[in-house]
Amino acid sequence: MRNCGNFIALLVLPLLVAGCNGHEKGQTGEKIVKTAIVERSMQHKVAEFPGRVQAAQEVNLAFKVSGTLQQIVAKEGDFVREGEIIARMDDKDYRLQYDAAQAEHANVKAQAERVFALYADSAVTPQVFDNAKYGLAQMDAKFENAKNQLSYTILRAPFDCYVQKHILDEASVVGAGTPVVTVISAGVPEVEINIPASEYADRADFRKFSASFDFRPGERMALKPVSISPKANANQLYTMRLRFEGGEKNYPSPGMNTLVEITSYSSDSLYAQIPAPALFSRNGKSYVWLCSGGKVTECEVYVKSLDLDGNAIVSSGIEIGDEVVVAGVHTLHEGDRVSVMEKPSETNIGGLL
């Protein structure tokens, strides 16, 4: 009898469990699914160009006056701050001119001031007053010119720089405007590349720039564009300059070769992007399940391509911001009610807790 009772209990127990499960499913009627929001995917193109690091500024410095080069103060490779002396010219002749102009200016100024005082007392005519005023103005200009000529005998750094090269030697007789030394700026260097006309025409689509160097394998240094020549050179290439960014402490030195990578995003190639598992096929066509208001709706889509990240690039059929089912797509039917699976908590990575 005890064995018979156990046998009956074993038969009844599955029926009771099935009844309970059926009752629970009948209450909700929902299927649990995982969803994702349709995002925008920008098709991009990557092009590489050889380049060379250049100083942001490279200038040939020259005196504004003629004379004998007396001394080059800064040696090749020296760092010179803005305003510091780089070279001097023999200034004896210019100093004599300055001294003479200074004395003449003092004499004319004293005479003019006496005339101005007499004119205030109505002791001289207006014509005499005007002559004194204009004579003093001319002498002011002459004295200022002599002062400038003397100052031009000293060559100063126009900005923080390094002396790249001595073009002339000391004791050389130089003319006004003749280059004496070459300096390069000490600031953030730049990279110069040449791009073909096809890339120049699409320059508005340029979005990201970076450079790689052999001495820093596996690393890329961010760049930002500075300028691009509007005229092609003899090889029908357009010169583009880019500057390093990112607060590096040790930038590559001018003269180093590099490979510049330019990433372009075209405004004409913006598509929707969804995880590839959201797709299912029927009769040779691709579909997704749109989730809205707790229900799913079948929607035909046109897939342009699949990327290396496991995403499908969709050209039409869905809109940016739509919610699509990405897990459980093969168990659904039109109009099914669904419950969206909750995302794992940030403090429960992987949903293990």
Q: What is the pLDDT of residues 144-160, one digit of tens each?
A: 999 999 999 999 999 99
Does residue 9 fall inside a structural domain? no
Does residue 5 fall inside a structural domain? no
Query: Whose structure tokens read 């459980």?
Result: 328
> Across residues 28-44, what is the average pLDDT?
81
Among 208, 235, 268, where does a domain finish? 268
Q: What phi and psi values does residue 261 have, to the nearest 5 degrees?
A: -110, 125
Whether residues 76 and 168 fall in one domain: yes
Does residue 19 fall inside a structural domain? no
Sign of CA dihedral 218, 219, 225, 227: negative
Question: Do strands 338-340 and 31-37 pair parallel, antiparallel, or not at all (unpaired)?
Answer: parallel
The answer to which of 8-17, 106-115, 224-233, 290-299 has the lowest mean pLDDT is 8-17
CATH number of the domain encompassing residue 254: 2.40.30.170
> Across residues 199-213, what is the average pLDDT?
91
Does residue 353 fall inside a structural domain? no
CA distance 320 to 335: 22
Does residue 274 fall inside a structural domain? yes
Predicted confidence band at 264 (pLDDT cuts at 50, 70, 90)? confident
Whether residues 191 and 51 fall in one domain: yes
Whether residues 191 and 261 fall in one domain: yes
Whether residues 258 and 199 fall in one domain: yes
CATH number of the domain encompassing residue 130: 1.10.287.470
Counted domains in the chain: 4
CATH number of the domain encompassing residue 275: 2.40.420.20
Structure tokens at 198: 């096809």
Whether residues 216 and 323 fall in one domain: no
Does residue 17 fall inside a structural domain? no
Among 133, 164, 186, where does a domain finish? 186
Say which DSSP state 90 is in.
Answer: -
Residue range of the domain that includes 300: 28-41+269-344
DSSP for 235-256, please give it. Answer: TSEEEEEEEE-S--SSPPPTT-
DSSP for 287-339, please give it. Answer: EEEEEETTEEEEEEEEEEEE-TTSEEEEEESS-TT-EEEEESGGG--TT-BEE
Q: What is the pLDDT of residue 13?
A: 43
